[in-house]
């Protein structure tokens, strides 16, 4: 089953997609944030065009384990997305995905100058890979 991952942000929405076996996550694209319903429609359209069977949305939490401000925004985005598609939508802990994406760029040997800019699609890839690894069937 193909899974689409969403890293929602206040400026951009990072997207990643799995291979059909649900083993490997790959960056897909970055969609500029416009408005919640328009963003949800764009994500729903991409998920349908990729024939995704599941949409995983990153949600961040505070130190007490409650959804942070951005995590609550992700929850509202998930609710908006559910009105736009029949594909199941799941929230997944995205803690440290941006930091992990930044470290991945460093490990890949990307120069400091080239590392500037957004990490949204890579953060979505890290998010999706964590979901895939946690749900891998033995």
Q: Which domains does the chain show, CATH number per domain?
A: 3-134 (3.30.420.140)
For residues 75 and 45, the answer to whether their CB atoms sit within 8 Å is: no
Quick: pLDDT tens for 85-136.
Answer: 999 999 999 876 556 555 655 565 655 555 455 678 888 999 999 999 999 8
Q: What's the pTM?
A: 0.84
Does the pLDDT of residue 17 top 70, yes or no? Answer: yes
Q: Which segment of 26-30, 35-39, 62-66 scores lowest on mean pLDDT?
A: 62-66
d(CA 105, CA 123): 11
Per-residue pLDDT tens digits for 38-73 = 999 999 999 999 999 999 999 999 889 899 999 999
For residue 106, count other CB atoms closer than 10 A to its CB: 11
What does the DSSP assignment read for 8-43? E-SSEEEEEEE-TTS--EEEEEEEE---HHHHHHHH
Neighbours of 35 (CB within 10 A): 9
3-state secondary structure of 67: strand
């Amino acid at each position: 089953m193909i899974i689409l991952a969403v890293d929602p942000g206040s400026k951009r929405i990072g997207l990643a997609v799995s291979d059909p076996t649900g083993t490997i996550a790959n960056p897909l694209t970055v969609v500029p944030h416009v408005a919640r319903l328009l963003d949800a429609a764009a994500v729903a359209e991409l998920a349908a065009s990729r024939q995704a069977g599941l949409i995983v949305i990153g949600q961040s939490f505070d130190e007490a384990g409650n959804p942070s401000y951005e995590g609550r925004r992700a929850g509202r985005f998930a609710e908006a997305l559910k009105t736009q598609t029949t594909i199941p939508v799941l929230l997944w802990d995205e803690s440290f995905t941006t930091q992990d994406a930044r470290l991945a760029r460093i490990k890949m040997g990307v120069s400091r100058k080239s590392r500037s800019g957004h990490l949204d699609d890579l953060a979505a890839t890290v998010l999706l890979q964590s979901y895939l690894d946690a749900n891998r069937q033995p």
